[in-house]
Every structure is written in structure tokens, then in C-alpha cells.
Amino acid sequence: MSKILPPGDQRRLDDLLSRFTDDAQHMIGYPGTHIIDFSPLAPFLEFFLNNIGDPYSASTFRLNTHEFEREVVTWFKQILRAGETDVRGYVTGGGTEGNMYGMYLARELLPGGIVYYSEDTHYSVAKILRMVNARSIMIKSRPDGEMDYDDLMRTLHLHRDVPPIIFANIGTTMRGAIDNLETIKTILKDLAIARSYIHADAALSGMILPFVDDPQPFGFDAGIDSIAISGHKMPGCPMPCGVVLARQAHIDRIARSVEYIGTSDMTVAGSRNGLTPLFLWYVIKTLGHEGFRDIIAECTAISDYAIAQFKAHGITAWRHKNSLTVVFPRQAENTLKKWQVATQGKDAHLITMPHVTRNHVDQFITDLVAATRKTETQKTAIPA
């Protein structure tokens, strides 16, 4: 069935498209991107797709992309160094759902456990912990955004009788800091803590670290129990989505058989988007491992270019190793708003995602410097 929109409504859509086209050219502060032409997948919009339940089990509802979802999970297992360990997962609605899944599994494994997370952890995690009714303690962060391991050690020592659930950031939201998994495991060992769970939030960095020459520990070979990655950030699916992986033994604790759909369910949502696995599969097949390596190398080069350009204009900027997040002092609020730059306290950041070019960096810094100088001139002007 096809109907034509009234002229007024069509104009609204045209205006929206025009605004999006402009805003997309001034979006350098958030970790989203769009570098792949997904138009070959347009015919699949005609179908009522639902990836309900476990992608590894047959279902009586057949309008799904479970086959492609399994291939996506297998690819992520490879880049996240699952090796021969029994790890499975599924395509989520985004990084937050992946983190919720990790906390759900952890709470089921360690019902009375305490979740430890740093103050630089994504804002959604506190909400997740309330939703799964998990006890938690916030750990201090270092000035660069990484977890304060001395505070973690002291706090764990005070609660040694309660199994810990560590929520580790593999790339914090504001500063791109990576919590050191080796240090965390050493602390657990030194305190003789036998039962624990480590979940890794690798929303963006999970698609960076597998493609660099010298990554920090981040995957299953580093001893994690589960990990969440966003597919909306990198490689840039047009709708929010992500991938969550966990050790099979943990997943088995929550899987349930559902007669109505003729399959088991081990997910959070049950009904899930059947298009997003197809989009992720398409990106993986289009770019391949080497394609991602080339993209990350170029993004890293632009990060360094941005830092150099800031320095040339007398502005201090920095980034963590293997991070695309360039942090600089917060200033010129209207310019930050124009370029959709994220801020927190005294800091601002730009993220050199694949769509951010050297020209974007030059235009932004030119605007920033001009606005800052104008403000300083106004402050020093003598009233008439």
C-alpha cells in the first residue's frame, strides 16, 4: 500500500533532510560515523524482520537474519580474541543493552556481588545497576579518566567477603581512557579473591584496539567474562546497534525455552531488530580486516594532526594511546555547540571518526580561535 504525503508534511521531511545534511558536516564531538553506502540493503526494508530469541536456535518465526547474526558474532569473537574458549553472544540494540546484559549475567552468577565502576564510567551504567538491583560502589578516577587502582584496592579490601563484579572501561566516554585489566587482575590475585566477574565496556575502542599494532589488553585473552561493543559508533550503522559476547557458561544460566516462538531466549529484549545484523555483516564483508586497519590508521593520523594544530594555536590538547578522542580545554561555547562538541566540566573533546577530515579539524580550530579571541577582546574592552 502506497500513499502520498500531504504537501506540508513532505516539506517537513525535506527540511529535516536539509538540516541533517548540514548538521552531519559539523559533527565532530560524538563517536558516530557514516562511511558506508548501505543502499544495496534497501530492499530488505520491505520485510517484517524480527530476530527474536537465541540466534543459535531454530525458531518457528522465520523472517529473521539469525544466519547473518551468527556470522557477525563469529567475526567479533575473532577480533576480541576469544580463541578456543566457549564464547557466544548476539546483536544488541546498542552499547547500553550490552552493558546491561553483562551486569545481568554477573548478578546471576554472583547474586550478592558488589559492582565496582569508576566515576568516568558512562552515565547509563548507574541506571543499569538500579534496573538489575545490583549493589555497587563507585571508584575514583585518575585525572586522565583511568580507574584509580589504589582506591580499587582499598575498597575491595574492605569488602573482601563479597564477590566483586568489575565494570572495566575500555575507552571512557569523555577521555578515552582504558582501565588496565592486568592491574585489576593482579589486585584480585593479591587480595586472594577467588570468585569475581569482569565486564568490559568497549563501546568504541572495541572497534579500534583489534586493528592497531600495540593494543592494551582488551579481549577474552585478558581474562574478561563479557564485553559490549557499539556498532553505531564504529563502523557506523545508521541505527543504534551493538554486539555483546560472554562466556557460554554464564549465558547458560539465563537461557530459557519459549514455546510460543519455538526457540530458547538468552537475550535482554527478546524481539530484536533483524536489520542490524545484516548491516553489520555488510560492513564486515565490505571492508574486511585490512579495511578496518586502514581506517583506524587514518583516524589516528588525523587525531595527531588535530593535536598538532591545537598546539600551533597555543591550545593544549592530548589523547590516550590508541584513542581517537582528543581532549582540550573547554572554551567558546557557541563554537562548541555549532560543531556538536561534547563537554564535561573544564574539558571538551573531538573524536576523529572516519568522517572527520583534516579540513574539518582546520575549520573547527579556526572557528574556535576566532571566537576565543573575540571573547577576550570583549572582556578587555574599555566601556565608552
CATH number, position 251: 3.40.640.10
Q: Please check whether residue 36 lies inside any domain of the structure.
A: no
Q: Are residues 124 and 244 in the same domain?
A: yes
Question: Considering 266, 285, 304, which residue would you say is the last residue of a domain?
Answer: 285
Q: Are residues 224 and 123 in the same domain?
A: yes
Are 227 and 253 contacting, i.e. CB atoms less than 8 angstroms apart? no
The pLDDT tens digits for 140-190 are 999 999 999 999 999 999 999 999 999 999 999 999 999 999 999 999 999
Q: Which domain holds residue 141?
A: 41-285
271: annotated active-site residue: no
pLDDT of residue 59: 81
Between residues 24 and 303, which one has the greater pLDDT?
A: 303
Question: Considering 218, 251, 285, which residue would you say is the last residue of a domain?
Answer: 285
The pLDDT tens digits for 89-110 are 999 999 999 999 999 999 999 9
Residue 51: pLDDT over 50: yes
Question: Exactly one of 136, 141, 205, 323 is catalytic; which is it?
Answer: 323
pLDDT of residue 2: 66
Q: What are the cell numbers at 246?
A: 560472554
Arithmetic mean of pLDDT, 34-52: 93
pLDDT of residue 57: 85
Q: Are residues 264 and 298 in the same domain?
A: no
pLDDT of residue 377: 76
Q: Please check whether residue 2 lies inside any domain of the structure.
A: no
Residue 23, CA distances (Å) to 211, 278, 326, 333, 357 in order: 29, 27, 20, 17, 15
Kindly indicate the confidence band of residue 3, based on its pLDDT and cuts at 50, 70 and 90.
confident
Q: Are residues 203 and 81 in the same domain?
A: yes
Cα 198 from Cα 186, distance rounded (Å):
13
Q: Please check whether residue 244 lies inside any domain of the structure.
A: yes
Q: Are residues 235 and 105 in the same domain?
A: yes
Question: Residue 160 burial (CB < 10 Å; 0-12/13-18/19+)?
Answer: exposed
Short-list 359, 372, 379, 378, CA closest to 332: 372
Q: Please check whether residue 382 lies inside any domain of the structure.
A: no
Find residue 199's DSSP bridge partners: 167, 226
Q: Are residues 272 and 351 in the same domain?
A: no
Letter string b/e over residues 277-287, b meaning 16 or more CB atoms within 10 A of that residue's CB: bbbbbbbbeeb
What is the pTM for the complete model shown? 0.93
Question: Considering 224, 251, 285, which residue would you say is the last residue of a domain?
Answer: 285
The pLDDT tens digits for 214-250 are 999 999 999 999 999 999 998 788 999 999 999 999 9
- Into how many domains does the chain fold? 2
Phi first, then psi: give them for residue 214, nearest 5 degrees: -135, 70
